[in-house]
Amino acid sequence: MSASLHVGAVSDGSVAPPPSPGMRHQQAAATSSTAPGSERARQPSAPPRELLFKFLVIGDYGVGKTAIVRRYTEGKFSSNYKITIGADFAIKSLQWDPGTKVNLQLWDIAGHERFGYMTRVYFKYAVAAAVVFDVSRIATFQSVQKWLTDLREKVSLQDGSPVPVVLLANKCDIAAASVPTDLVARFCRDNGLVAWYLTSAKENIAIDEAMACLVRQVLALRTSGPTHSDGLVLGANSSETLNHSSGCCGS
C-alpha cells in the first residue's frame, strides 16, 4: 500500500490539507528509513520453471503398459483395457520442488508386432523410457532386449548418449512369478539401465517410485550440461523370484 506525502482523499470525499513543513520533514525521514526494505520487498522473486518431458512406456502386448499409465496419471485400475492401437498418451503434472513444475507426457506404445514399424515416429523427442515385462510370462522378459535395442537405435539425447531407462517387472501381485531376480539385475547391469522395480498397477506398487527415478535422472542430465536433455521449458539369490525383491542396478 502506498500513500501520497502531499494530498490524499479522506473518507467523506473531501481533500485533506497539505501537511505542515514539520510534518513533511518527519514523513520524508520515515520514508527514507523504510525505502530500502520496501524496495527489497517489491523485488520480484525468480519465476518458477515449468518443464515438459516425454517418457515412453514400451514392452510386449499384455504386460500392463496401459494399466501402469492409467494408474500413474489417473490413480485408477481396470482389468478391461482394450489393445492399444499405435500409441496413446496421458499427462501427469508434478510440483517437483517449490521452483520446478514438471509436466510428463507418458506415451503408451502398442506392443503388438504389427505396429512396430511406427515406433520411430512415436519415439521422437523422448527423454526417458520404462520397459515393461510380465513377471508371470518369461517370454515377455526375453523380449526386453529387442525393445531396448529398438529404443536405442531410434532415439538418443542431444549429445548422442542413450536416454535413461528403467525396467518394470510388472504384475508382481501374481504369485506365479517365473523370472529370477538375479537374472533381471544382471540384465540391468549389462545393458546400462538406471534401475528396475517390481510393480503392480492393480495394487499400486512402486509405479510412482519408478517414474520419480526417471524424473531425477532427466533433471540431473539437464544440470550436468545444456546439451544432455531434450526436455522443453515452458514458462539377490538365483532361486529367488521376482515377487520377493527388486533393486537398483547400481546395488
Look up cell 501537511; give the residue: 19
Domain limits at 164?
49-234
- The answer to whether residue 44 is domain-embedded is no
As for how many domains the chain has, the answer is: 1
183-210: per-residue pLDDT in tens? 999 999 999 999 999 999 999 999 999 9
Category of 91 on φ-ψ map: left (φ > 0), alpha (ψ -120 to 50) or beta? beta
Whether 231 contacts 53, CB under 8 Å: yes
Say what the pLDDT of residue 116 is: 60
Identify the helix (H) or strand (E) that includes residue 150. Answer: helix 144-154
Say what the pLDDT of residue 55 is: 98
b vs e for 49-75, b when ≥16 Cβ sit within 10 Å of the residue's Cβ? Answer: eebbbbbbbbbbeebbbbbbbbbbbee
Say what the pLDDT of residue 56 is: 97
Separation of alpha carbons 140 and 133, rounded Å? 5
- The answer to whether residue 208 is domain-embedded is yes
Question: Which residues, 6 or more positions from 46, have their beta carbon under 8 angstroms from its beta carbon?
Answer: 99
- The answer to whether residue 14 is domain-embedded is no
Separation of alpha carbons 168 and 157, rounded Å? 22
CATH code of 124's domain: 3.40.50.300
148-188: per-residue pLDDT in tens? 999 999 999 988 999 999 999 999 999 888 889 899 999 99
| DSSP assignments along 154-223, one per residue | H---TTSPPPPEEEEEE-TTSS---SBHHHHHHHHHHHT-SEEEE-BTTTTBSHHHHHHHHHHHHHHHHH
For residues 35 and 61, which has the higher predicted lDDT (pLDDT)?
61
79-130: per-residue pLDDT in tens? 776 777 778 889 999 999 999 999 999 999 988 765 566 778 889 999 999 9
* Predicted TM-score (pTM) above 0.85: no
- The answer to whether residue 32 is domain-embedded is no
Mean pLDDT confidence for 41-70: 86
Q: Which three cell numbers stand for residue 140?
A: 515377455
Say what the pLDDT of residue 137 is: 94
